[in-house]
Structure 1
Amino acid sequence: MIKHHPSDALLAQYCNASLPASLSVAVAIHLEMCECCHAKVKRLEAQNAELIFAQPQSAIDEELSADAMSLLAAITENDDVDDVYEVQPQTVAITKQYSYQLPRALARIPHSKFMQLGKISRSRIGLEDGALRSSLLHIAAGGEIPEHTHTGFELTLLLDGEFSDEEGDYVAGDFMWLDGRHQHTPITKDGCLCYTVVSSALHFNKGLSKLLNPIGSLIY
């Protein structure tokens, strides 16, 4: 059962289309997996629609730019209906042992080949999103990420499998937002695939992994 969800503020930003692309994708994936948050978003979208259409048309027109008005006019004057296409399921094969079906929100977004370091593999998601970096992160069975904290924020959405850290156990659909106040050591018994978004480099706290800190800004 999913225990970790986006905040209400994040869901509101998603409904207002004010999130960066990588975070919007994360919320969209979570909504595919979580009926509770999906219902919240439907209510928020209905409330937004009511607020907009409750305004006089003159007030709506004042809020729209000339370009937006032109686009809206072009859309509404055309009675053609676009064909609805089906999104074909996309599968990623990380090794012969591990393959996963991607969520719908990621099916049409390109990603790089997986780069592997021990039991950890990472593939960059092809989103141009400023300083934010989004990835598919795979940890093979018995693997862990050394203890670290964050110089920015780290969003982790568990897509498949399980992992645990000092705070507890996580299942597919769990949505975790961490920053410099947190430090943890994710470890998985059976393996997992995550969608991650980071705004800056991780900071490793112990052992040989600390050697990565001087080049952390280059590899985050």
Structure 2
Amino acid sequence: MIKHHPTFELIQSFVNGDLPASLSIGIKLHAEMCSQCQKQIAQLTEQVADNAFESENSFAVNDNDIFDFESIISDITESDDIDDVSVEINKTINFKNKAYPLPKALNNVSVGKTANIGKLSRARLQLDEEEIHTNLLHFNPGGGVPEHTHKGFELTVLLDGSFTDHKGEYTKGDFIMLDGTFTHQPISEKGCLCYTVANDALHFTQGINKLLNPIGNFIY
């Protein structure tokens, strides 16, 4: 059962088109698995469309602005141009010999090569957003990240499996948005696959930071 959702403000920004691609994809991924947020997005989208329609109707129309609809329809029906129809094929990604089907929201996103460190694996998503890095992060069973906080923000959308921290258990579909006020140590007993977005490296709160920095840079 999904327990963690994007805030109303974040969904409103998504509907308005105000979010970077990485966060928009995160909301799409969550909404594919969450009927509650699907409904909220549909309602807000309808409101935006209604407001836009009312705004357009508020302008006066003069005779010179009237379109010749018969000519437009005639031009369309007489055209011999045929658009190619593309069939969507969902991608899969392999981590440690296990194949994961990727959600539709990732169909048109280029995925980089897989890299591994310990029980963690990641594949970078090519969104070209400068300091914002987006990854598919995989935990092998028993894998985890040492206790850390965040210099910026970190979004995690759980695509498969589950992990826990001191706040409890997170399962498929959960949308987890964290910042520097939150410290945790995620561990996955049975393994999991996450969509992650961060705009800065992790800040480890235990151990010798110099030894842990490669892990932080790897995840970021």
Taking structure 2 as the reference length, the TM-score comes to 0.85
Matched, 1:106 2:106: yes
Aligned residues: 205
Q: 2:137–2:219: 8 Å Cα contact kept in structure 1?
A: no
**Residue 145 to residue 60, structure 1, CA distance change in 2 (3 Å):** farther
SS in 2 for 1:26: helix
Cα distance, 1:102 vs structure 2: 0.5
Cα distance, 1:95 vs structure 2: 1.6
Matched, 1:95 2:96: yes
1:143 partner letter = G
Unaligned runs of 5+ in 2: 62-74
2:64 aligned partner? none
1:151-200 CA deviation, whole Å, 9 max, x = no partner? 00100000000101011101100000001100000001110000000011
Unaligned runs of 5+ in 1: 62-76
Structure with a larger share of its residues in strand: 2
Matched, 1:39 2:39: yes
Q: 2:111–2:126: 8 Å Cα contact kept in structure 1?
A: yes
Trace 1:126-205 onto structure 2 (pairs within 5 A).
126-205=126-205
1:91 partner letter = T
**Residue 219 to residue 155, structure 1, CA distance change in 2 (3 Å):** closer
What CA RMSD, in Å, does the superposition of the two structures yield over aligned residues?
A: 2.6
User: Separation in 2 of the partners of 1:36 and 1:138?
Assistant: 27
**Residue 89 to residue 215, structure 1, CA distance change in 2 (3 Å):** closer
Q: 1:146–1:209: 8 Å Cα contact kept in structure 2?
A: no
User: Separation in 1 of the partners of 2:158 and 2:207?
Assistant: 27
User: Separation in 2 of the partners of 1:84 and 1:137?
Assistant: 33
1:115 aligned partner? 115
Cα distance, 1:38 vs structure 2: 0.3
Taking structure 1 as the reference length, the TM-score comes to 0.85
